[in-house]
Structure 1
């Protein structure tokens, strides 16, 4: 029984138990419950988490799935072959057309498959085998409460330790990753589509919990996903693996590999790449240290496992997030001690604020508001809401500390941290700043989505909260 996560709720006077334990059978088997399943999964679930949550039409979804691989290749070519110049890369592809992509495209390779296969297997084993504290995620629309194992820090440290050992003992040269980085990117793209197909089939044939459903449109199901918490065995949550153990961990491995490549090719690591790499690795360490907070975020608690999530985790995060480092490998910039230290300290401050925002929120949740934030008893709003199953619940909305300045205050230092680890590239070219621009647009959109979802959930209580905390991200500005 300890392996089950059980939440009891009451629906029309009778108790139900919902679990998020992987099972071979679908949750509902009777005709009566089957009709409820159809109503819940095909209408309500799709309404909350399907295509209606984002105004993306069929043509847009197809365009994203077709264009995304071309963008990854364009990004790689710009950083590695065009010296970071978007204009130079654009002229190359515009002048030569499709032939340019055919000649330039770094095709998947067996050696890239071996590297990614070994890395994936190693990280999956770490996620399953390394011990960690048990953590309960937020309740789902179907009444489940997923459980996780908090072993992100041990997995991260073990990964770095093993990678260093492989390098020191000359069993593997990390600079080889840079040498075949185009092949790795192309293989990641193929992996994305393969994994999405498998998730689509699993969603139809063997869903892990009652939090699954179909929109009736195969393209929508493929793009947005069918399962909220797909799992393989009790310990391997697929979304956590893809995002945290593969995407974020892969980002760290690329950052280290690029620094080693520059050291081998130029005899040292430039202060620009050093500052950028250190800030990223510190941020990634912070991420794994506070990983449990991420499991309550929109990516895990709301977005289902379809192409969009899979592409983001397996390809976008490791490729785009490390793109400035890829540029700096062959374009070293000497900032000088004063400039380098200033950039580093500003970046560290932003990372600290991100961490402290999460700390305040978690402290407030765990103590139910009976704590001190910035030396004072925090102010709050007690919100009441009703679940889809008819259960009445309460939530406390924090209006003190960082969270009294803006409703999504943690997004501001997130953008700031990304800016400062990109700043060492200076301003000769715009492409290194693509991630900063993307992150800014993403977090503004997410803030709007969060506000919309919370308004639907809390109604008048969210309106009261919005009046008390008037700004979304930046106090006095937005």
Structure 2
């Protein structure tokens, strides 16, 4: 056991404990501010949306029960013996955890449940009417889960801790997450939260916004339909390729703490739906040529995103697969090889490039008069650049000279000829 002891985290991210403390305050504040601004007539980020809601107006036991019920439903669907069992990548002690891959099944069962509710008279636009209260409830759930995760990690053996969340500072470790793969029996808390309640919640919120717009104007706008269709494709794709998440930084490297819990349960569903939310109060008209151009742009982004991710995941699973066997690679001292052709010879992170092109296509249906609907792409650009920098540091440590050679042969990180 001692040989698997995790050393104290020395290289602190996000500005260390002070930065983590500021983010604990800034992240929820940002969500609330943007949601409030979205409902103002000006939708200006520079105008304080007064009057601000009181805590009493945000607290609603019924909405908290709805958020907990939604998570409970997704937890039940997660535990169903459907789909396939897959192993994650080897951990530090060479063991491999098993994961139940049934997110696509859960999505269809969720759709059937929501459809049955609508047939029975469920008023989905309630979510729009109580959006701030639901968001506040999601904050409470995310914070409560983060506290439980931190307390659980205090009892976990050191071999189970994440390399980046073991600084000894309680604020920093609470934010980053101490335990790498916290589980209750076989129920993997991090894997569950990564795609299920938040991603499906995002799709449900978008649908609720479409329903609300239909109630207000008689039919959904073309702009609303585009936003719903594009983002639903993204959600469906993520759940169809659910096993791909097993090789991501979130699962492999980051502990499960406030950063991921808040991101999964609050940030993703309530901010990624910002375009649909914006269109309810700020309707837009699109011409057919502009619509066609936006559809083509989203298709291009998806083509790059899916092609790059599929190529990477296939290579990681089986480098001898005929789909990737002919690609050029660079050998490393660890025994693994780095792809240096195909999508990964174009730029170092072609999946990020596709992601950002799609993000632009999601925002364009909201017009060009307001910056607010473009918050997602602005934030996402910063996030991916930061994530890319973290990935670069880790790969340099892991692969050394081989990574330097890869960077020499593939000089552009995300944007060809720019960055």
- TM-score tier by shorter-chain length is over 0.9
Alignment of 1:289-368 (within 5 A): 289-368=240-319
Which of the numbers 25, 32, 37 marks the counterpart of 1:78?
37
Please say if 1:41 is aligned against 2:34.
no
Larger radius of gyration: 1
CA contact 1:347–1:416 (8 Å) conserved in 2: yes
CA distance in 1, matches of 2:200, 2:56: 26
Query: Aligned residue for 2:27?
Result: 68
1:285-321 CA deviation, whole Å, 9 max, x = no partner?
1111112112211111111111111111111111111
CA-to-partner distance for each residue in 1:350-399, whole Å, 9 max, x for gaps? 112211111212232333245245xx9211112122xxxxxxxx112111
**Relative to structure 1, is the Cα distance of residues 370 and 68 closer, same or farther in structure 2, using a 3 angstrom cutoff?**
closer
1:433 alignment partner in structure 2 = 374
1:396: which partner in 2? 337
Unaligned stretches of 5+ residues in structure 2: none
For 2:216, the equivalent position in structure 1 comes to 265
Alignment of 1:66-465 (within 5 A): 66-88=25-47, 90=48, 92=49, 100-101=51-52, 103=54, 106-170=57-121, 172-206=122-156, 210-211=160-161, 214-234=166-186, 236-372=187-323, 377-385=326-334, 394-465=335-406
For residue 10 of structure 1, what is the aligned residue in structure 2? Answer: none
Task: Give the match's secondary structure for 1:140.
Answer: coil
Mapped partners of 1:253, 1:208: distance in 2 = 39
Contact 1:250 1:318 in 2 (8 A): yes
Verify the 8 A CA contact 2:14 2:20 in the aligned structure 1.
Answer: no
Q: 1:354 to 1:208 in 2, by over 3 A?
A: farther
Q: Distance in 2 between matches of 1:227 and 1:214?
A: 9
Q: Deviations over 1:334-357 (max 9, x none)?
A: 102232232122212211221111
* Equivalent residues of 1:106, 1:182 under 8 A apart: no
8 Å contact 1:279–1:348 — kept in the other structure?
Answer: no
Partner SS state of residue 41, structure 1: coil
In structure 2, the residue matched to 1:16 is none
CA distance in 2, matches of 1:395, 1:81: 53
Superposition deviation, residue 164 in structure 1: 1.5
Q: 2: CA distance between counterparts of 1:68 and 1:75? A: 11
Q: Which moved more, 1:64-73 or 1:104-113?
A: 104-113
Shift of 1:169: 2.2
Is the contact between residue 247 and residue 315 of structure 1 (CA under 8 Å) also seen in structure 2?
A: yes
Q: Show CA shifts across 1:398-455 (max 9, x none).
A: 1121111011111011011011011100111111111100000111111111111001
Separation in structure 2 between the aligned mates of residue 223 and residue 251 of structure 1, nearest angstrom: 23
Superposition deviation, residue 53 in structure 1: 4.6
Distance 1:102 1:253, change over 3 A: closer
The secondary structure found in structure 2 opposite 1:308 is helix
Measure the CA separation in 2 of the matches of 1:309 and 1:272: 31
Shift of 1:458: 0.6
Q: Report the CA distance between 1:85 and its aligned residue.
A: 1.9
Q: Does structure 2 retain, via aligned residues, the 8 Å contact 1:370–1:377?
A: no
Count of residue pairs the alignment pairs up: 417
Deviation track 1:177-217 (CA, whole Å, cap 9, x = no partner) reads 11100101111111121111111111112569734574322
Whole-angstrom distance in 2 between the partners of 1:102 and 1:379 = 57
1:127 Cα offset (Å) = 0.6
Give deviations 1:73-112, integer Å, cap 9, x for gaps.
2111100134422233x2x45xxxxxx4354885121121
Q: 1:288 to 1:208 in 2, by over 3 A?
A: farther
- Give the match's secondary structure for 2:254: coil
What is the CA–CA distance in structure 1 between the aligned matches of 2:320 and 2:125, rounded to whole Å? 49
| Residues in 1 aligned to 2:378 and 2:65: alpha-carbon distance in whole angstroms | 33
* Secondary structure of the structure 2 residue equivalent to 1:135: strand
Of stretches 319-328 and 161-170 in structure 1, the one that deviates more from structure 2 is 161-170
Distance in 2, matches of 1:362 and 1:278, equals 25
Aligned to 1:4: none
